A and B are shown apart, each in its own frame.
Chain A
């Protein structure tokens, strides 16, 4: 799941991370439309295959977050979505046929922090505290090329201090096992020391120093996405890849179990009406959308 204000480069970063275009027909709404909207949940699923390994990746986007003049309670839809996935899994797990359970639970939430401020904003704190017991929170400093190296270090320290101060529980990389090789241990140490990652995303190829790199071209130079001296993109990608398993495990063993025990303690039937109703509404919306698309694709007579 990606959460953050408009314009922080979330879509670009996701596309950069997975080298795909998850949002081919994207239309960015203007200010007038933003006034009307509440936070939406948009899930896009893509199947990625690499060296015979298949990954079913779902990216849950949350457009509208933080856009409104009054952002009080702007994230209740997000919380509901996370809970709904847990609910559905719980329902499936408790059913008779458990062979093909699809895991739609949110394994990781990238929270995008603006590089412009002096640290966390009040909304950042409120949101992270509302979800840190439900999902692995990975804070990311967006558009890191706005900052000089010194500003970046200062901002990272400030954010870590504020996370501590407010008791926010972000995802912690597990220490390397003692039987891992030195390189891996060192890599883990470096990763842990760089959190929160300050990233730059881009899918444009730029010519720099005679070779083609993914980057952003400015009049004063080129920011290279995959250059560790320029930003932490590679670190973020490494973390995601080497800890995909751990993210799923923590979701299963910690967040899901917390949800499950709370839910069962509260009692009530496992197939909650609320969840079913929401699913039915979503299906109806998708069907309407598909129908509109079909009508659009039909050849003009």
Chain B
């Protein structure tokens, strides 16, 4: 396993408007103080607005959490899995609008297919509007590229379990760190080649095994090779095969918390796998600069939902479900691992905790 740390500034920091985090506690403009606080000091709350006697001020916790989160920053670990040449590195660069993939950082002259599967991690510190994120992209070169690909999921399974183990070890320490470094894989993006027909045996095998221990987000790679008709047919076929094989990809049906969740997630489940196209090259289209691929017969715009579904993937992974992905990893996948590990010789206790047998067996390779 090889790890690299690189610090990246996404763009120059925007002009700073007075915000909570940068100002001292004493000088807080009246408008930003919740009515409850001003009431404590005997002042009139605001001006013309009447005091709400039934208002306690619990919602102030949101602002406190926000400040703490800004200070702490976030971690996100994404693994990319798929045959060589499916555009994994390019897609990562497109998602985060910067050169975060291993290939961009270590410019290799010739991309030779490695003889065995390697797991390579590369981390970046990304910042946007004061929010800091440590993004780790875990690449798996060599997957599916050999003539004999039997058991090629094993090194990947082992890596994921190793991260759970590392976290567990830190957690059960007597003197443990205040913030346990989180290297657990939050999300595994699986790249399906755009054949247009159906899943291959390798795709089914991999997703069947790994969907039980990590959140899998399948995508159709290099989707600009499919017409819209072919894409719809392919997606339907893939969803059928996933269902037929009992493969539950993210967002998993069994983890929907309430009706609202279910409604949002059902819409997503009807659209996956997203058909994506990646690019880190900009072109001028109708006077605007856009990320795309220029061909003789037209320019494919990456962020145009009429062309491909990259925008949906980005929204899912980053703008709407990032926290949920992390929550499921820590409160479900990790917990399953933990229970199994701690009860390795004692399955009776596990049953008593209400953990069904098939969950315990999930981590076996």
Residue of B nearest to A220 (CB): B298
Most buried by A among B200, B203, B307: B200
Q: Are A148 and B198 in contact, CB atoms less than 8 angstroms apart? A: no
Q: Are A7 and B300 in contact, CB atoms less than 8 angstroms apart? A: no
- A121, CB-defined interface residue at 8 Å: yes
Contacts of A116 in B (CB 8 A): 83, 85-86, 193-194, 221-222
Partner of A28, one of B85, B197, B296: B197
Q: Are B145 and A122 in contact, CB atoms less than 8 angstroms apart? A: yes
- In the assembled complex, the Cα of A229 lies from the Cα of B295 at a distance in Å of 10
- A6, CB-defined interface residue at 8 Å: yes
Q: Are A230 and B296 in contact, CB atoms less than 8 angstroms apart? A: yes
Residue of A nearest to B281 (CB): A148
Q: How many residues of B contact A (CB 8 A)?
A: 46
Contacts of A114 in B (CB 8 A): 85, 193
How many inter-chain contacts with C-beta < 8 Å in the A-B complex? 118
Q: How many residues of A contact B (CB 8 A)?
A: 42
Most buried by B among A71, A126, A220, A229: A220
Contacts of B307 in A (CB 8 A): 219-220
Contacts of B148 in A (CB 8 A): 69-72
Contacts of A149 in B (CB 8 A): 295-296
- In the assembled complex, the Cα of A216 lies from the Cα of B146 at a distance in Å of 32
- In the assembled complex, the Cα of A25 lies from the Cα of B244 at a distance in Å of 24
- In the assembled complex, the Cα of A219 lies from the Cα of B226 at a distance in Å of 10
Q: Are A230 and B147 in contact, CB atoms less than 8 angstroms apart? A: no
Contact residues of A between 213 and 244, Cβ < 8 Å to B: 216-224, 229-230
Q: Is the interface of A mostly helix, strand, loop or mixed?
A: loop
Interface segment, one of A31-39, A43-51, A167-175, A251-259: A31-39
- In the assembled complex, the Cα of A8 lies from the Cα of B147 at a distance in Å of 18
Closest chain A CB from B190 CB (angstroms):
14
Closest chain B CB from A113 CB (angstroms):
11
- In the assembled complex, the Cα of A224 lies from the Cα of B295 at a distance in Å of 12
Q: Are A32 and B204 in contact, CB atoms less than 8 angstroms apart? A: yes
- A117, CB-defined interface residue at 8 Å: yes
Q: Are A69 and B147 in contact, CB atoms less than 8 angstroms apart? A: no
- A156, CB-defined interface residue at 8 Å: no
Residue of B nearest to A115 (CB): B225
Q: Are A220 and B301 in contact, CB atoms less than 8 angstroms apart? A: yes
Which B residues lie at the A interface, using CB under 8 A? 83-86, 111, 113, 145-150, 193-205, 221-222, 224-225, 227-228, 237, 241, 244-245, 293-301, 306-307
Which A residues lie at the B interface, using CB under 8 A? 5-8, 28-32, 34-35, 67-72, 114-118, 121-123, 126, 143, 145-146, 148-149, 216-224, 229-230
Q: List 19 A-B contacts (CB under 8 A).
A: A5-B195, A6-B195, A7-B194, A29-B198, A30-B244, A31-B203, A31-B241, A32-B244, A32-B245, A34-B201, A70-B149, A72-B148, A115-B225, A117-B85, A122-B113, A148-B294, A218-B297, A218-B300, A223-B297
